[in-house]
Amino acid sequence: MSRKRERVRAARSCCGTGRAAFDESEEKGAALAKAFREKGATAVYVRVDLSDFLDLPVDLPHGLPANLPAIASEIVPQAGVQPGDLIITKRHWGAFSGTELEDHLRKVGVKTVVIGGIATNVGVETTARNAAGLGFAVVTVEDACTDRDAAVHHTSFEKIFPRLGRVRKTAEVIEALG
């Protein structure tokens, strides 16, 4: 199996309500990053270091398989990472805890974060909650997110994200950028 196919398969095995949902969120995320770059903003990508993921004492363990290949922690090429993009490596659910993300955003004067990704009710929701708690305005992009469980994805967008900030579609965010 090619390295590219293995990477995509590894990512899909962890996340997504199916191939179509994963592909759509990936495509929408790449479109958002491109639009932000075109406006002179930094696109931020977050990867999970699955080999060093925090294994805390909890009642319901994360369920990640042991000994995942390193490729499972890489950002897939279809995400569209470009030179100059900021890559954040997280070791737990959210993109802020234990990373340099907040410092970077504050240094460049960011007031609003636009969030998409996988998995909706874990990484995306934790990041949105942390961002709001840190005083950032939050826009969560519904069609740029996906989850293993469609029901929890919908619950996050119906009950959680509207309380943390604004919920928009990719086209609406790109249009608002002007």
Q: Do 142 and 118 form a contact (C-beta atoms < 8 A)?
A: no
More confident residue, 92 or 67: 92
User: What's the average model confidence in pLDDT over 85-89?
Assistant: 95
pLDDT of the residue at 19: 65
Confidence category of residue 9, pLDDT binned at 50, 70, 90: very low
**Superfamily of chain region 3-177:** Isochorismatase-like (3.40.50.850)
Global pTM exceeds 0.95: no
Amino acid at 87: I
**Per-residue pLDDT tens for 51-82?**
887 777 878 877 777 777 888 778 888 889 99
Q: Cβ neighbours of residue 16 under 8 Å, at least 6 residues apart?
A: 22, 25, 118, 146, 147, 148
Instruction: Tell me what the pLDDT averaged over the chain comes to.
Output: 86
Proportion of the chain above pLDDT 90, given as a percent = 60
Q: What residue spans define the domains of the chain?
A: 3-177
Sign of torsion over alpha carbons 58, 62, 68, 74: negative
